[in-house]
Amino acid sequence: MKAAVLREVNQPLEIEDVQHGNPGAREVLVRTAAAGVCHSDLHFQNGSYPYFLPTILGHESAGVVEAVGSDVTYVKPGDHVITCLSAFCGHCEFCLTGHMSLCQEPELQRGGDEPPRLSKGGESIAQFLNLSSFAEYMLLHEHAIAKIREDMPLDRAALIGCGVTTGVGAVIHTAAVEPGATVAVIGCGGVGLSCINGAAIAGASRIIAIDTTPSKLDLARKFGATDTVDAGAEDPVGAVRELSGGGVHYSFEAIGLKSTTEQAWKMIRNGGTATVIGMIPVGTMVEIHGPEFLREKTLQGSNMGSNRFRVDMPRFVDFYLAGKLHLDDMISSRIKLEDVNDALAQLETGEVARNVIMFD
């Protein structure tokens, strides 16, 4: 199969012919239909987050089940599925207490005495975040997929695999935004737009979108933003505090920077909550004013929207088909696998929400 392989940090991905193994007892072979090019992929390509190399990037995808292992009963060949990088074991403390997105059990991977899931001519290729979606096929543990209805377009379903689940989930699960609350979202890429959409679904009374790209701010209004702030033209903290009468109840940082994380903290009111969704680079320290904890302000993180993805993803599909999730507007363009490096470069400029690689 063809796949986009990362062999060196800060180097282009190479389109290569690689091999996948046969499904083990609890594994599923999925024919990839679509894969979103997410900013998180860029973090690993540029070395902000170290990873085993070589690897096949990609972690936001949907496809069709091709074959299943002997112990798999959840899906069968022909089923449509969305993948999820936060695969779960189902029996660790995190899973049993409803925090499946924090599961780190090694049993989801193949053991060292087993052949690798991905290889090329005898060379082992690391599987990226349980998935490796920039490939024509994915060999996955059965707990890395969610079965969905077949009338859902798979290019839009792919977006649910990361960006939508992360953004909407941060609102409804991690922060538990209540109807009537005020919300600010810093960064209007795929995750930020999903966060805005989630806040609208949750019934927030005011949703303030913040970005430095005017076209993204225009797009944010389609997703439910009631107000926009151009952070390149004015102080976003001052603007948000003025628009919200002293600070919002909830802020969300969807970029992954020290500066914007500190801004998210500064724009919440007393008793407010700032949630960091973006991937802040390894080694970065965030500074906040300690005495503000006496004002009962909260700074927290969110991993993949604190999801229960086998429940959440089919519901998000229903939301889309009911017109509540605006996934059509999120896709900037549909591209081929060979165009993946151009798509990663476009993430650097901040001009796109999502490019989606189409395999069919």
| Rounded average pLDDT per 10-residue block, the chain, 360 residues | 97 97 97 96 93 97 98 98 96 95 90 92 95 98 98 98 97 98 96 97 98 94 97 97 97 97 98 97 94 96 96 98 95 96 89 88
The CA distance from 313 to 320, in Å, is 11
Taking domain 2-161+306-358, whether its CATH number is 3.90.1150.10 is answered by no
Q: What was the pLDDT predicted at 293?
A: 94
Tell me the fold of 176-301: Rossmann fold (3.40.50)
Q: Which residues are catalytic?
A: 38, 40, 43, 59, 162
User: What are phi and psi for residue 210, nearest 5 degrees?
Assistant: -125, 125
Q: What was the pLDDT predicted at 360?
A: 75
Q: Taking the domains of the chain in order of start, what are their residue ranges? A: 2-161+306-358, 176-301
The CA distance from 303 to 120, in Å, is 32
User: What are phi and psi for residue 223, nearest 5 degrees?
Assistant: -90, -5
Please return the burial class of 78, using the count of CB atoms within 10 Å of its CB with bins 0-12, 13-18 and 19+.
exposed
Give the model confidence (pLDDT) of 128-149 as tens digits.
Answer: 999 999 999 999 999 999 999 9
Q: What was the pLDDT predicted at 196?
A: 98
How many helices (H) and strands (E) in the chain? 10, 20
CB atoms within 10 A of CB 306: 24
Q: What was the pLDDT predicted at 113?
A: 86
Q: What was the pLDDT predicted at 106?
A: 85
CB atoms within 10 A of CB 227: 18
